[in-house]
Amino acid sequence: MRIAFIAKRPCVRLGKELNALVPLGHEITLIADGLDITKPYSNFIYCNQPGEFAQAIRLVKDKIDLFVVHNEPTWPVVIVREEAPEAKIVLDYHDSQYWYFPSQEEVMASNESVRWYEEDYSVAMCDGFVVPSDTCKEELKTRTDRPIVVLPPLCSRSEFRYQGLAWAGGLVSQGGHSIPGLYSRVAEHWRDYTKLYTYLNGKCGIFVYCPRVDEEVFKAHYAPLVTFLGKAVYDTLLDKLGEHSWNLVGNWTEHRVWQFSAPNKFYDALAAGVPSVVFNTQSIIDIIEEEKFGLIVNHPDELLAAWDSHSECRKNLMLKRSKYCMENFIGRVEDLYKTVIAQ
């Protein structure tokens, strides 16, 4: 198939899909405002502004069988539909405000239920969807009758690591963080780790990779609680995660998003060879319950009490993780692409 991947902000998930699709013979043109040169693709067009995306779509539309828009944001769907009205469009929909906020959670001064207009009109223009979890699929089915498939953010088998570069121990936490008061939006509270880190401070090592590590207000808040390991490019992160005893997935702080989330950080840890301790994240809890290669907890004391079980969990993980590689799941996405093109 001749496919255009479109992303205003290309993310790790997009790269994971490229790793699996390009070796299968698909010709993929990446239209985005950034590029990871370690990932495979056939062609690349740099775009940053809506007008640039429109020009790129006009340039390639007669040579493309399917446009796949990776959100967030979601509005590039509109640009595709404007410039290529007959195009077949799939939305790789891994981030939605509807998964952060219940539709009735807040009634604004307008006396209306919360709606997310950009997502609503973009969803209405698509022919199919890829989402990260079963709960995402069930929620999206309330908003569309178009076909939906589930694709977690798995790593390719070629990205699996078998030996850490060194030993560091402790709990490793990677990805976005927020702090109290920095955001007023409830949607950001899910990645405020203050409560968890404060409780564990002095009881185990906490090591953090985070893109916000250079912000002074951020460092002032978290530095007394954790050891910052800075930022890491993705391949280096996979090399380094395996040096630790446990990987953090979810948060002690409950939030609606954990009902829907299928975090990259869990599948990255699988590839790196480090077992995960999981708070509140249902899609990952289901896997851990089946495979026994991690720890499910409701309170950090449960982690501390079972700390040494990481050795047995790691052994199970190394033996079973090949089941959870992108190559074993990408076929369902190919089938969706073919269905949408044939419509």
Residues 183 and 273 placed together within one structural domain of the fold: yes
The whole model's pTM is what? Answer: 0.92
pLDDT, tens only, 73-112: 999 999 999 999 999 999 999 989 888 876 554 545 566 7
Residues 56 and 101 placed together within one structural domain of the fold: yes
Residues 57 and 151 placed together within one structural domain of the fold: yes
pLDDT < 50 positions in the chain: 105, 107, 184
Residues 277 and 212 placed together within one structural domain of the fold: yes
Q: Which domain holds residue 101?
A: 2-156+326-342
C-alpha 132/C-alpha 189 separation (Å) is 21
C-alpha 68/C-alpha 70 separation (Å) is 6
Total domains present in the chain: 2
Residues 90 and 146 placed together within one structural domain of the fold: yes
pLDDT for res 53: 96
Quickly tell me which residue has 């997009």 as its tokens.
14
* Extended beta strands in the chain, E state: 2-7, 27-32, 43-46, 66-70, 89-92, 128-131, 148-150, 171-174, 206-209, 227-228, 246-250, 276-279, 294-297
Task: Extract the tokens encoding 264.
Answer: 């990259």
Residues 22 and 145 placed together within one structural domain of the fold: yes
Express as a percent the part of the chain with pLDDT over 90. Answer: 76
Residues 143 and 219 placed together within one structural domain of the fold: no
Residues 106 and 215 placed together within one structural domain of the fold: no
Angle at 231 between CA 246 and CA 261, to 5 degrees: 55
Residues 167 and 298 placed together within one structural domain of the fold: yes
Task: Extract the tokens encoding 166.
Answer: 């060194």
- Domain with residue 213: its CATH number is 3.40.50.2000
Residues 298 and 168 placed together within one structural domain of the fold: yes
pLDDT, tens only, 280-325: 999 999 999 999 999 999 999 999 999 999 999 999 999 999 999 9
pLDDT for res 124: 97
Measure the N-to-C terminal CA separation of the chain; round to a whole number of Å. Answer: 15
Cβ-Cβ contacts under 8 Å for 139 (sequence gap 6 or more):
96, 98, 99, 260
